[in-house]
Structure 1
Amino acid sequence: MSRAVRVEGLTVAHGGAGVRARGGAFPALEGVDLELAAGSFTALLGPSGCGKSTLLGAVAGFVRPAAGRVAVAGEPVTGPGPDRGVVFQHYALFPWRTARGNVEFALKRLGLPRAERRRRALAALAEVGLADGAEKYPGQLSGGMQQRVALARALAAEPEVLLLDEPFGALDALTRVRMQELLRRLWRRTGLTVLFVTHDIDEALALAERVVVLGGTPGRVLADHPVPPGPPDPALRELIAARLTQPEAADV
Structure 2
Amino acid sequence: MSLGVRLEGVSVGFGRGGRGAPVVAGVDAEFAEGSFTALLGPSGCGKSTLLNAVAGFVRPTAGGVTVGGAPVTGPGPDRGVVFQQYALFPWLSARGNVEFALKRLGLPRSERRRRALDALAEVGLAEGAEKRPGELSGGMQQRVALARALAAEPEVLLMDEPFGALDPLTRGRMQELLTGLWRRAGTTVLFVTHDLDEALALAQRVLVLGGSPGRVLADHPVPAGGPDPGLRARVAAHLGA
Q: TM-score, normalised by structure 2?
A: 0.98
TM alignment of 1:1-252, pairs within 5 A: 1-15=1-15, 24-246=19-241
Residue 231 of structure 1, CA deviation: 3.8
CA deviation digits over 1:57-105, x for unaligned, max 9? 0000001110100000100000000000000000000000000000000
CA deviation digits over 1:217-251, x for unaligned, max 9? 111101000001224333111111111111xxxxx
Q: Write the distance in 1 (CA, Å) between the matches of 2:229 and 2:162.
A: 25
Does structure 1 retain, via aligned residues, the 8 Å contact 2:38–2:190? yes
Report the identity percentage: 78
The aligned amino acid for 1:98 is S
CA deviation digits over 1:174-223, x for unaligned, max 9? 00000000000000000000000000000000000000001101111010
CA deviation digits over 1:28-70, x for unaligned, max 9? 0100001000000000000100000000000000011101000
Distance 1:75 1:231, change over 3 A: closer
Q: TM-score, normalised by structure 1?
A: 0.94
Query: For the aligned residues, what is the CA RMSD?
Result: 1.2
SS at match of 1:104: helix
Distance 1:130 1:161, change over 3 A: same
SS at match of 2:201: helix
Gaps of 5+ in 1: 17-21, 247-252
The aligned amino acid for 1:167 is P
Q: Which residue of 2 aligns with 1:250?
A: none
SS at match of 1:214: strand
The aligned amino acid for 2:135 is Q
- Count of matched residue positions in the alignment of Structure 1 and Structure 2: 241
Gaps of 5+ in 2: none
Distance 1:8 1:166, change over 3 A: same
Q: Which residue of 2 aligns with 1:249?
A: none
